[in-house]
Amino acid sequence: MIRVLMLGWEYPPHISGGLGTACEGLTKALADEPVAITFLLPRLFGGEQARHLRLVDATRRPLGKTAADESWDESRDGTRLKTLPIDSWLMPYLRPLSLADRERLWAGGPRGLEELIHLLQASEPGSGGALYGQNLFAEVDRFAERCLAHAQTLDFDLIHAHDWMTYPAALAAAKATGKPLILHVHSLETDRSGDAVNTTISSIERRALQQADTVIAVSHFTKQKIIEIYGLAEKKIFVVYNGVQEPGSSAESPKATTWAVELSPPLSPPPPRDRKTVLFLGRITFQKGPEYFVEVAAQVARFIPHVRFVMAGEGDSYPRVRELVRERGLEQVFEFEGFVKGRDRDLLFQQADLYIMPSVSEPFGITPLEALCFDVPVLISRQSGVSEVLSHVLKSDFWDVDEMADLVVGALTHGELRTDLMKMARQELKKINWRVAGRRTFEIYLNTLQMAKSVFEK
């Protein structure tokens, strides 16, 4: 049995991006291996369903208690956690919020979370690049301090931390305990911000990755970037692809999400059957290539006038994209849905004839897999990790608008192409699951422990 101290930043259902979903999938798969995980998070909101691991709110647990202490704030005890006042709430990818806004929102307790996400994402754009809460660094720092305190009271064999927000905490814990350190890269600062990188974050990434015993990257695309940008040795980086929940295999499949009970009307009436729909779903920001989507739409509309182009998401590029839609004269065929989740999100997938992810830089990209789970064929950029595991999809370089437009027109014109794509993709999807990721991660644990042991013996 390998005892793992895992550090994360978010956990479903309270997530801002793919990181929380990935942590859930990976830890669930690891529960089938001889692994025991203690998962430290900055905070728990209640409602986290994690029977397979011990989920700990690092900032809440009183210091000085022992590991065996019964007063762990575990997720099962969700109701009690809900009533706790939360003094700060920060998202790694979102903009700062005024104090007044925060007070107003939190007056109603954690129920206002979704509203907060909305408000954060709808606020006006900043100066470009990824946007971070203003107190985020303080929060990262505080998390590190608390993790260090926890680490010294816990018994474990290795540390496994997800993305830069947890790296300082992981480094501190590794230094204090001498345990091997595994850092998991779900995305890099350059993916999120392009050329406008935040130097504090990139230096955290650089320092931490250089000191890690082992680095896990979500794709070869990301592995290559780590080598190029941070100069890491190739041999200490391992690739573990994300999985996708097998459709219909559990209550968590996209067709029956946990939000299915919420009664809210669909965002828009279902489209007429003779109009084909192309869907973009993701943050409207540089990294996701929303402007390329508009340029593709402009070309496609010349050949098939009645196609609907639906863009779901919010982000700093929204005003620019909206302006581009106007310039290209696409107002009649373009629809902005804003940030969607739960049943509305499912509905968008169900109504789509083609899903498009023209990302400029996508470390992995889990949404194409979700689209495939809804039997929607996908077009993805080659600049994505997920393109390494999918063959039966349409692929293009993100900058090749002509190529993407041809693929979209072809896919919408020829039902035969969509039929064959989906027939083959469904088979391919069966092989992309978290079980494989869990097994591989376990092997990496063994390997890391082995290396640490041999170094110690020398």
Nearer to other proteins, 126 or 415 (CB): 415
Rounded to whole angstroms, how far apart are CA atoms 288 and 66?
45
CA distances from 202 to 94, 148, 206, 333 (A): 17, 22, 6, 40
Q: In angstroms, what is the minimal distance from the CB of 391 to other proteins?
A: 4
Q: In angstroms, what is the minimal distance from the CB of 219 to other proteins?
A: 14
State the greatest distance between any 2 C-alpha atoms of the chain, in Å, as a whole number.
71
Q: Are 144 and 168 in contact (CB under 8 A)?
A: yes
Q: In angstroms, what is the minimal distance from the CB of 411 to other proteins?
A: 8
What residues contact residue 75 under an 8 Å CB cut-off, 6+ apart?
Answer: 11, 44, 46, 47, 48, 49, 50, 55, 81
Identify any residues that bridge with 56 across adjacent strands, giving them in sequence order.
40
Rounded to whole angstroms, how far apart are CA atoms 77 and 86?
16
Query: What is the 3-state composition of the chain as percent helix, strand, coil, each rounded to the nearest 5?
Result: 45, 15, 40
Nearer to other proteins, 105 or 407 (CB): 407
Rounded to whole angstroms, how far apart are CA atoms 215 and 153?
25
Q: In angstroms, what is the minimal distance from the CB of 410 to other proteins?
A: 4
Q: In angstroms, what is the minimal distance from the CB of 289 to other proteins?
A: 19
Nearer to other proteins, 56 or 354 (CB): 354
SS3 93: coil
The DSSP line for 186-251 is: S--HHHHHTTS--HHHHHHHHHHHHH-SEEEESSHHHHHHHHHHH---GGGEEE-----PPTTSST
Kind plus residue range of the DSSP H or E element containing 355: strand 354-357
Q: In angstroms, what is the minimal distance from the CB of 379 to other proteins?
A: 10
What 8-state DSSP symbol labels residue 275?
S
Nearer to other proteins, 371 or 409 (CB): 409
Residue type, 203: S
Order of strands, sheet of 378-381, starting from the edge strand that comes earlier in the sequence: 334-338, 308-312, 277-281, 354-357, 378-381, 394-396
Rounded to whole angstroms, how far apart are CA atoms 172 and 378?
42
Q: In angstroms, what is the minimal distance from the CB of 221 to other proteins?
A: 13
Nearer to other proteins, 154 or 422 (CB): 422
Rounded to whole angstroms, how far apart are CA atoms 386 and 14?
24
Q: In angstroms, what is the minimal distance from the CB of 435 to other proteins?
A: 20
Binding site for other proteins (CB under 8 A): 299, 303, 387, 390-392, 394-395, 402-403, 405-407, 409-410, 413-417, 419-421, 423-424
Nearer to other proteins, 152 or 419 (CB): 419
Nearer to other proteins, 420 or 443 (CB): 420
Q: In angstroms, what is the minimal distance from the CB of 400 to other proteins?
A: 10
Q: With b meaning 16 or more CB within 10 Å and e meaning fewer, what string describes 401-435?
A: beebbbbbbebbeeeeebeebbeebeeebeebbbe
Residue 284 corresponds to which tokens in the numbers above?
Answer: 């409207």
Q: In angstroms, what is the minimal distance from the CB of 315 to other proteins?
A: 30
Nearer to other proteins, 250 or 413 (CB): 413
Nearer to other proteins, 13 or 377 (CB): 377
Nearer to other proteins, 335 or 403 (CB): 403
